[in-house]
Amino acid sequence: MRAMLLVNPKATTTNSRRRDVLIRALGAAVDLTVEETAYRGHAAALAGTACEKGYDVVAILGGDGTINEAVNGILVTDADPETRPALIVIPGGSANVFARALGLPNDPVEATGAALEALREDRRRSVGLGQAIWEDQSRYFTFCSGLGFDAEVVRAVEGLRGAGRKATPARYVNTAVRHYMATDKRHPAMTLTGPGIPTEEGIFMAIISNVSPWTYVGTRPVAPTPWASFETGLDLLGLERMGLFSMGSLIRQVLTERDSLPSGRHLVQLHDEPEFTLTADRPMAFELDGDYLGERESVTFRSTPNALQVLV
């Protein structure tokens, strides 16, 4: 079995010694080629090359951003879905939402052990993905996308990371609090439309989920769309109010009630939808799998069932 391992050398929770141990372990089980990512978008190019050259497996040692790039590199090729490489995920980032949603250990050494066991037993899981489409572009996402406030927080944290600071849970929380205090809470910009979906206007922010949880604060899962899963369509949670009471109630629910939908008069919720569109009367911050992708005024979201085979 031929496998290409994509390594993000800047991954948050790994170092060169640990990477060497993991590479040797995988190399003992498969015919392994190791490639390090060097720039944004590199993982997508490498994964596309693995697809074109007929590799059986693409393994990723990195965070959610590197995984997202690799997934897009695999799916945008013209390869037959039946012959696409299977995916191995070894978490190396700060949140590792996709890996944890798959039930993998959050420790890269333990996750490598689980991957080796899955290889021996050819234990695979088919997962659906989301797809975001805007202007003349599209991109797949593994666990979430968002427009509005959450994307503004992602943008701010990416700026801090660019200045050399780590993306810790505390940094996300502190950044979210600062941005909330400065957020316009009186002029919602977004409208939700879609086939068979009642039009909803006056939305401040929207979270689009392909699985639950949406993210983690340390070890605590955050579940604004608790019914979302890899086996269903897309879920959405939209906020029509950003007041302190409304936000406080929502935060309490998504942190403590992991199996129940959040309740509130000013929430917009969708479950298991194949497609919907968010439009805005001004440019809105846009993120996908934790990566900031600029400001958009219209994005269509589609569910892509059974898009990937993952060894877990």
Per-residue pLDDT at 166: 72
Superfamily of domain 2-122: Probable inorganic polyphosphate/atp-NAD kinase; domain 1 (3.40.50.10330)
CA distance 296 to 176: 20
CA distance 40 to 65: 9
Matching CATH number, 133-306, of 3.40.50.2300, 2.60.40.1730, 2.60.200.40, 3.40.50.300: 2.60.200.40
CA distance 255 to 261: 12
Per-residue pLDDT at 200: 97
Per-residue pLDDT at 301: 98
Smallest Cα–Cα separation from 119: which of 31, 204, 190, 186?
31
Q: Where in the chain is the domain with CATH 2.60.200.40?
A: 133-306
Q: Which residues of the chain have pLDDT under 50?
A: none
CA distance 31 to 3: 6
Q: Where in the chain is the domain with CATH 3.40.50.10330?
A: 2-122
Per-residue pLDDT at 3: 97
For 133, half-sphere exposure in the C-beta direction (CA atoms, 13 angstrom radius) is 10
Per-residue pLDDT at 82: 72
Count other C-beta atoms under 10 Å from residue 285's C-beta.
22
- What are the pLDDT digits (tens) for 52-100? 999 999 999 999 999 999 999 999 876 666 789 999 999 998 889 999 9
Per-residue pLDDT at 79: 65
Per-residue pLDDT at 246: 86
